[in-house]
Amino acid sequence: MSLPVHPKSGPINRAAFLSGLGGTAAWQFWPMADSGLLQTITAGLCLAVALPSGVRTADLLVKDYKLRRDLARAAQASSDHGTAREAEWHELVARGMDQPASGNLLGLHRHDDGALLPVFPPPRNAVRPDRNAARCRQDGQLRDRLRAASGAARQIPLHS
């Protein structure tokens, strides 16, 4: 699931329009050899409007390009932690998140066939065979030794 993000092009269009309009007016009112002071002032004012808005247009275009580039990069699915993609169903099953071990419902996952399947937190004692299987065996042996040493294995009568 992805949310459509559309960069706003209104500020760019307004700045570009103002820059173009001011540049065209400055070109039109550019003083000739026989023109007066009013035409020179008008051309200068138009140029004073066109230059800053042209710089702003260039700045907004660079920001818009970078935003669109970053959005395109983020839309690509990858295996690193740089993108926030939704886990696929086989990844959830591998972590044991398809079984209601904790009882807390995290949400619903839309499967490829359109079915909504419940997703639960992974169990706390989930065994990951890639790196924790030997450690879990050792922890189980240690727990058994502690029970035997503390006498917790004996049954204590509740009623005397």
pLDDT digit string (tens) for 89-146? Answer: 888 888 888 887 767 888 888 888 888 888 888 877 655 554 555 555 555 666 666 6
Does any domain span residue 154?
no
pLDDT reported for residue 83: 53
Query: Which tops the pLDDT comparison, 153 or 36?
Result: 36
pLDDT reported for residue 160: 47
Does any domain span residue 41?
yes
Same domain as 69, residue 28: yes
Same domain as 69, residue 101: no
Expressed as residue numbers, the domain containing 15 is 10-75
pLDDT reported for residue 75: 74
The residues pairing with 116 across neighbouring beta strands, listed in sequence order, are 110
Out of 21, 40, 75, pick the residue that ends a domain. 75
| Residue range 24-69, pLDDT digits in tens | 999 998 888 788 889 889 999 999 999 999 999 999 999 989 988 8
- Work out the angle at residue 125's Cα, subtended by the Cα atoms of residues 122 and 131, and round it to the nearest 5 degrees: 95
Same domain as 71, residue 97: no
Out of 20, 53, 75, pick the residue that ends a domain. 75
Same domain as 19, residue 55: yes
Q: Are 50 and 22 in contact (CB under 8 A)?
A: yes
Same domain as 62, residue 104: no
Q: How many domains does the chain have?
A: 2
Does any domain span residue 155?
no
Out of 75, 110, 128, pick the residue that ends a domain. 75
Same domain as 65, residue 20: yes
Report yes or no on whether pTM surpasses 0.75.
Answer: no
Does any domain span residue 68?
yes
Q: Residue 1 — pLDDT band, cuts 50, 70, 90?
A: very low
Same domain as 95, residue 70: no
pLDDT reported for residue 17: 92
Same domain as 48, residue 105: no
Does any domain span residue 20?
yes
Does any domain span residue 141?
no
Residue 1 and residue 57: Cα distance in Å, rounded? Answer: 34
Q: Taking each helix axis as running N to C, give the angle between helix 37-75 and helix 10-28, from 0 to 180 degrees, rounded to the nearest 10.
A: 160
| Residue range 95-109, pLDDT digits in tens | 888 887 767 888 888
Does any domain span residue 59?
yes
Same domain as 94, residue 65: no
Query: Which tops the pLDDT comparison, 150 or 61?
Result: 61
* SS3 assignment, position 130: coil
Residue 108, token pair as written in the block: 């619903």
